[in-house]
């Protein structure tokens, strides 16, 4: 069930900018009413705990309305979802930049609506580390299989904490030397420990961390469930290490009707993977380093919740 839920987590899409523009303006009365009506949702909302840069620039942009994209001149709200840049009313230097510990490729289905995809948030906020490809125009990963993983559920998917163990099964050419090599215990696990080495357990942890950081790139699929099969069966993605995420509840406002709240949006899946990677592979305390990946998402979440309140839907 968890694996299937992760598949659907990559399906979610962001609210269209058109709907953003039409949403009712917030008011103090509306905010107070929302807090009184749904106190539990506010307490349980993990977005409230994020360490975010000031969103004042988005507040100003919301009040001024739609603005032009500096590249294509299209009228957009907050950012252009085709050029991957903020609009003129949102100065780039007022948008936070997130440095990621590895590169991220997002493979977007051609029929996925640009204005509904949260994948663009990752490109806007981590421009140096995120690349978005529109299927079928995707890279060849064959020669890099020893340092790449795909976030996608399946019978052979592994957890984030087991990345180090499984990456050792891949050679630098990106494939196992043989089926036996793939199923055999990695050399790190088989190595004989000399008596004097047993006195230094931290060395084993350090070695595991080193193996885990062999991961250089992670791939996400931005698509609906009905569209996913065509991408995941592409020969260029075959043989990649597949990763499954821990179960988390989404805060996404455009949730698929009748689906569990454990189906995440794409930007949420990216964020939660990085938090897990930071803690379980880099072995470091998480102190909000990637929280700003949800800079737009959290703002729009509040915007939509308030709009529903004012419209009497909450």
> Rounded to two decimals, what is the model's pTM?
0.74
Three-class DSSP category at 300: helix
Q: Is the pLDDT of residue 41 over 80?
A: no
- Give yes or no for residue 63 having a pLDDT over 60: yes
The pLDDT of 225-232, averaged and rounded, is: 82
Angle of helix 56-64 relative to helix 295-310, nearest 10 degrees?
50
Q: What is the pLDDT of residue 281?
A: 94
Kindly state the average pLDDT of the residues 42-61. 83
C-alpha pair distances (Å), 145 with each of 176, 234, 239, 240, 277:
10, 15, 8, 6, 18
Task: Tell me which of 219 and 198 has the higher pLDDT.
Answer: 219
Buried b (16+ CB within 10 A) or exposed e, 2-37: eeebbbbbbbbbbbbbebbeebeebeeebeebbeee
Instruction: State the residue for tokens 């696990």.
Output: 189
* Residue range 135-156: mean pLDDT, rounded: 92
In this structure, of 77-81, 151-155, 251-255, the range with the lowest mean pLDDT score is 251-255
Q: Quote the pLDDT of residue 260.
A: 54
Contact in structure between 251 and 47 (CB atoms under 8 Å): yes
pLDDT higher at 143 or 125: 125
pLDDT at 43 over 50: no
Between residues 192 and 314, the one the model is more confident about: 314
Residue 160 vs residues 1, 36, 93, 267: alpha-carbon distances, Å: 18, 39, 34, 17
Phi, then psi, of 66 in degrees rounded to 5: -65, 150
Contact between 121 and 220 under an 8 Å Cβ cutoff? The reply is: no
Query: Among 67-76, 93-102, 152-161, 186-195, which is the least confidently predicted range?
Result: 186-195
Q: What pLDDT does residue 115 have?
A: 87
- Confidence check: pLDDT of 220 > 90: yes
Going by pLDDT thresholds of 50, 70 and 90, the confidence category of residue 177 is very low
């Amino acid at each position: 069930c968890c694996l299937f839920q992760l598949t659907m987590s990559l399906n979610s899409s962001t609210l269209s900018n058109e709907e953003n523009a039409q949403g009712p303006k917030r008011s103090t009365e509306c905010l107070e009413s929302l807090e009184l009506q749904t106190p539990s949702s506010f307490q349980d909302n993990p977005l409230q705990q994020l360490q975010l840069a000031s969103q004042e620039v988005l507040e100003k942009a919301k009040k001024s309305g739609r603005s032009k994209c500096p590249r294509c001149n299209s009228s957009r709200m907050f950012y252009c979802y085709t050029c991957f840049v903020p609009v003129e009313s949102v100065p780039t230097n007022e948008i936070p930049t997130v440095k990621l510990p590895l590169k991220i490729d997002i493979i977007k289905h051609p029929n996925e609506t640009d204005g509904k995809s949260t994948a663009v948030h990752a490109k806007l906020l981590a421009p140096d580390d995120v690349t978005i490809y529109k299927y079928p125009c995707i890279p060849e990963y064959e020669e890099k299989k020893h340092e790449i993983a795909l976030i996608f559920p399946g019978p052979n998917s592994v957890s984030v904490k087991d990345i180090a163990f499984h990456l050792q099964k891949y050679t630098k050419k990106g494939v196992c030397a043989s089926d036996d090599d793939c199923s055999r215990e990695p050399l790190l696990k088989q190595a004989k420990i000399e008596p004097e080495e047993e006195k230094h357990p931290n060395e084993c942890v350090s070695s595991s961390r080193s193996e885990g950081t062999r991961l250089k790139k992670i791939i996400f699929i931005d698509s609906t469930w009905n569209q996913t099969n065509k991408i995941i069966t592409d020969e260029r993605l075959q043989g990649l290490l597949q990763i499954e995420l821990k179960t988390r509840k989404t805060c996404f406002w455009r949730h698929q009707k009748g689906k569990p709240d454990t189906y995440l949006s794409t930007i949420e899946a990216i964020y939660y993977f990085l938090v897990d990677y930071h803690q379980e592979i880099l072995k470091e305390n998480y102190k909000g380093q990637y929280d700003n990946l949800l800079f737009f998402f959290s703002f729009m979440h509040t915007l939509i919740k308030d709009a529903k309140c004012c419209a009497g839907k909450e």
